[in-house]
Structure 1
């Protein structure tokens, strides 16, 4: 970096952690203490049951203690990682204070019962994440990215405010639990405004298409902040829909619309990822798609599955971002360079994938009881198996195994993954107080499933690459805000 020693030796930077301010060390210790306390609360909840509350203000239930444990774990990892990553930065203390504040706000949000408190914490969560996106205030691009994110988050908070006000007007209840208890009385235009605003607020916060621009414009954030964003912040949409499940499940048509919105983002994220060339861009588009799956599961009425998906995706995406540097390889493309999409799939590979998927569906059905009837459970099983199988195949394809060995490796990676998914789902569903609202399948559900599979197959076989117009459209749709683009190293050299 400019201004540093011109010694030609390349190697590890000196350990400057010991020279860092005391604030990072103290906050790292505090967040791990919160994690230990959250695990204790989760164990107590599992063993004893029940909940704790300050009537009319906060209510600690199964979802609360589960999210406490998940959020503090991710935050603890980010804090510990950042002790080395942010060492020597002039923004180190600001970063740690903001990250810890974000953690505390999210912990408060999942416990909030009063509508005003819930709305204020939702707004605070977004503003703190915007601050993390613009941590390095000396970069014009970082300030622009923070401004983009802030606009989206304020819009999400405004929509949530409209929803909460409408629900208070319709039910007379000033708490989330009170609205849930009065959900049977909801209906009509006021309910439609409230439910529609809730869904839109969730879509914005979870960066679903067409609200994904803020996420793809946030690459100026320090890598640990990106990990916290993709592993935790974007999950807020699923938590919001779960908290207000009694409201959004009033009408089957709205639930179908939620499924359609989730499916559009799931397939759209896959398409956008296919034209990305940088690591963080690919991860961002992957998050757009995965959040689509989460919202789709909520639309099917399986809120436990949505929470399960956000937890497992959080672990995966946190690891992907924190290890992003290891994936950067400077190589010169050649005629033998393997494409990331459009691979030629052999008949044996297709047969192995189909048989593995069918067997995995049976395993998931046996472990969870979902998929035995022609209802939303069948579609849930299909999408869980589909996404898990895709993840297993992607992991195997990036290894150095010969093609014949990959055929055997796919089931070996897939079956443990589907078992873990099913076990975690059962555990999460047991903690939630929200009952499963199984939906009746309609022809539109079938159209959504068929359309998703068709898009996936087109990408995997490279059909979409034959259309220059589609390529340009996808490239344009995946572009971040022009003010946030980093075009040279001088743009982001804070030293």
Structure 2
């Protein structure tokens, strides 16, 4: 605190009535879990019917594999966050408003997942963004929160305008007013209209998923209550991948659009990792991690593996929801101490990491069927190999663990994790089998070669620590991750009620 003479004000003791569980949180929590049970039931009905054909109603709604998958995932995450918030948000003056917003967000995502009519799709996309912006500015008397909400709102309205523009162009060219109708009429699209609509969809996805250089709204959104941040990072930012899968028949027509997705994703995947390295705040580190993870997700879509992108967003959702809801456990008071010495086991460690990387790539190819041909699947396999090597080197470098434990962790944890990803991918690909396009691998180009070089170079720079020696890079990363001044929470007196 800057004012050491500031007096402490203690509020009145809460009454028994104030401690009573409010009506809205209890009811909405039960309702969202009921929606999850119903979603699982719908999946069971589709499985028992043995048909992958979508169910359509009123010319505006379509329930297909992607719809059911998203319903199950979003209601599960929302149920966890509703239940968690019952205690976390207890005593908040806007408790009912908070629960109404997170439930409304859940409904908006469910509508988006099932929307087939273009107007309904754009309306759900806009509603989803506006509700999330309101959650970012949940604390009404906090000027930084309101500034962050305003910034997020502008980004989301811009994203919605891009989606609306793309659908208007597609309607003008095809005469179709539904997403499924547009997918069925892509053969009538011309070059300029495809490029315009595809570019608008890619930019909308990049904004919603907070890819560089549109990441500012995400790093400014830390004013949101932690449960809202968990919902944002586990669900909201995933909408970019969902958008590209829904309009895969459009974005895959023009190769330059797919290459643009790969480049945007690569820049964010690597840039998010570097931005994370200069953060000291727990939630901002998680935010930068999300920028990188969403970049990798969209890069998978750009390589033509839309099913892999959906698999990534589901797994990332579980991981990031847990990390945000447990963020408080990372805050502790401790004296500075020397970092644990890294012991990478010398040449033995290098050999073990190399063998592990090759084994990880082999497991990936066997379980997913990707990477066996000379196409973009080969690049994805290379990234898995590099990631496995990095994980193996990190594990082997944990000097505070016995050597036997470090060596055992690779066959017992690391490689099974790659296999588990493959199994989850196959299951999700089966659920999505009724969609027009789930996989559209393309031939490799020099641009893909540059992406491969970038990933390998970044691995070498991070593993050797070379990137830490540049003060210019450090300052550039700090500037790139700097939020607008009006949203910065650097003075605790601005929001500490005591």
Shift in Å at residue 115 of structure 1? 0.4
The change in CA–CA distance for 1:221 and 1:288 in structure 2 (over 3 A counts) is same
Structure-1 residue corresponding to 2:10: 4
The separation in 2 between residues aligned to 1:394 and 1:175, in whole angstroms, is 48
**RMSD (Å), alpha carbons:** 2.5
What are the Cα deviations for residues 339-361 of structure 1, in whole angstroms up to 9, with x where unaligned?
Answer: 9xx99784333322221121121
What are the Cα deviations for residues 211-231 of structure 1, in whole angstroms up to 9, with x where unaligned?
Answer: 000000000010000000000
Matched ranges for 1:280-295 at <5 A: 280-295=283-298
Matched ranges for 1:240-279 at <5 A: 240-279=243-282
Matched ranges for 1:410-489 at <5 A: 410-432=410-432, 433=435, 434-489=437-492
Q: Normalising by structure 1, what TM-score? A: 0.93
The change in CA–CA distance for 1:366 and 1:189 in structure 2 (over 3 A counts) is same
Matched ranges for 1:50-449 at <5 A: 50-334=53-337, 336-338=338-340, 346-387=346-387, 390=390, 400-403=400-403, 405-432=405-432, 433=435, 434-449=437-452
The separation in 1 between residues aligned to 2:489 and 2:340, in whole angstroms, is 28
The change in CA–CA distance for 1:218 and 1:435 in structure 2 (over 3 A counts) is closer
Shift in Å at residue 364 of structure 1? 1.7
The change in CA–CA distance for 1:350 and 1:60 in structure 2 (over 3 A counts) is same
Residues 208 and 291 of structure 1 are in contact (CA less than 8 Å); yes or no, is this contact kept in structure 2? yes
The change in CA–CA distance for 1:184 and 1:393 in structure 2 (over 3 A counts) is farther
Shift in Å at residue 479 of structure 1? 1.2
Residues 368 and 422 of structure 2 are in contact (CA less than 8 Å); yes or no, is this contact kept in structure 1? yes
Structure-1 residue corresponding to 2:4: none
The change in CA–CA distance for 1:399 and 1:229 in structure 2 (over 3 A counts) is farther
- The count of aligned residue pairs is 487
What are the Cα deviations for residues 459-486 of structure 1, in whole angstroms up to 9, with x where unaligned?
Answer: 2321111111111000110112211111
Shift in Å at residue 304 of structure 1? 0.4
Shift in Å at residue 2 of structure 1? 5.0
Residues 139 and 145 of structure 2 are in contact (CA less than 8 Å); yes or no, is this contact kept in structure 1? yes
Q: Normalising by structure 2, what TM-score? A: 0.92
The separation in 2 between residues aligned to 1:388 and 1:2, in whole angstroms, is 52
For structure 1, which segment, 479-488 or 407-416, has the greater mean C-alpha deviation from structure 2 after superposition? 407-416
What are the Cα deviations for residues 28-76 of structure 1, in whole angstroms up to 9, with x where unaligned?
Answer: 0000000000111112222323332114201010000000000000000
Residues 375 and 439 of structure 1 are in contact (CA less than 8 Å); yes or no, is this contact kept in structure 2? yes
Structure-1 residue corresponding to 2:23: 22
Partner of 2:241, secondary structure, is helix
* Long gaps (5+) in structure 2: 1-6
